[in-house]
Amino acid sequence: MEANSAKKRKSVWNTIVAQHELIIMSVPLLLYKILFSYVPIAGWAMAFQDYKPSIRSFWKQKWVGFDNFVNLFTGLNGERFLRDLKNTLGQSFLTLLLGYIGAISLALLLNEVKNTTFKKIVQNITYMPHFLSWVIVTGLVSTMLAIPTSGGIINDVLIRLGLIDEPIMFLSEPKYFWWIVAFSNLWKEMGWNTIIYLAAMTSIDPTLYEAAVIDGANRYQKMWHITLPGIKSTIVVLLIMNIGHLLEAGFEIQYFLGNGLVVEKAEIIDIFVLKYGIQMGNYSLATAAGIFKTFVSIILISIANFIADRLGEEKLI
């Protein structure tokens, strides 16, 4: 046994020696990341304290154990936190789904465009909305969804097409809200999200296409059997990463478009935390919510990573 572990230790040591160049190239950056991202995590202690910024020493704060967490789930706002959790997941799931379909299909279709000038123009136009702030975009969304006399283009079109008689009050019906969030995100980020897939497509070996043509493959077969598999690892890795972000459903969009009539479908965790944590100077509650989100994220990516592994796909970790 002992000899065995000593041997193992020795072989580890040998590997380290053999890979010292890789280590020199990576470990300093690892330490750097630990310093900038992990050291401040000591601040999470706040979640277990009744933190007051004016008391400058961390250790002189009042410790309250898990009170802040308990408060989050069962306290005054327990039901509400759960409702907001549901809204967060629902909105970001829809956003993710539409976003993926939109961006990947746009990348595939752009890849089929032979005219490079046209292709470039389309790319440059579709990624523009990314540069507008949510204030501007939500302002436009809210105007477009208004009644026709207030500039509501969508109701106007629907009425002209004879699909509806009365304008739909999109922003006062809770049932539309998740979709409004998802489509607004699609509008703003679709072109931008396409870029990464287009870059991934450049790694596909062009000879594969040539070979496929010789084999008599048509356009759809090429798309399905060459292009998509070529970017599959990117798709999977991004998917796993984004699954970990399911609790980040945005913030500004709900803040600007949400209203009392749709609040039960609109309010998300981050807005809750703003109202009851940050705006009241309750950093402890905000930190507790942050820790909770991190735990959920880590569980989600672990599951996704595990599934990807089982399916023999590219893993995140």
Site for another protein in 252-311 (CB under 8 A): 255-256, 259-261, 263-264, 275-276, 278-283, 286-287, 290-291, 293-294, 297-298, 301
Q: How far apart are CA 298 and CA 5, in angstroms?
A: 32
CA angle 78, 82, 85 (to 5 degrees): 140
Q: How far apart are CA 34 and CA 102, in angstroms?
A: 36
Q: How far apart are CA 258 and CA 174, in angstroms?
A: 10
Which x/- pattern over 180-219 shows residues binding another protein (rule: CB under 8 A)? -------x--xx---xx-xxxxxxxxxx----------xx
Q: How far apart are CA 25 and CA 138, in angstroms?
A: 45
Give the number of other Cβ atoms within 10 Å of residue 115's Cβ. Answer: 9
Binding to another protein, residues 40-79 (CB under 8 A): 40-44, 46, 53-54, 56, 76-77
27, 97, 101, 303: which one contacts another protein (CB under 8 A)? Answer: 27
Binding to another protein, residues 3-22 (CB under 8 A): 12, 15-16, 19, 21-22
Q: Which is nearer to another protein, 129 or 250 (CB)?
A: 129
Binding to another protein, residues 228-257 (CB under 8 A): 233-234, 237-238, 241, 244-245, 255-256
172, 211, 213, 306: which one contacts another protein (CB under 8 A)? Answer: 172
Q: Does 138 bind another protein (CB under 8 A)?
A: yes
Binding to another protein, residues 85-124 (CB under 8 A): 106, 109-110, 112-113, 118, 120-124
Q: How far apart are CA 248 and CA 236, in angstroms?
A: 19
Q: How far apart are CA 47 and CA 63, in angstroms?
A: 9
CA angle 205, 208, 210 (to 5 degrees): 115
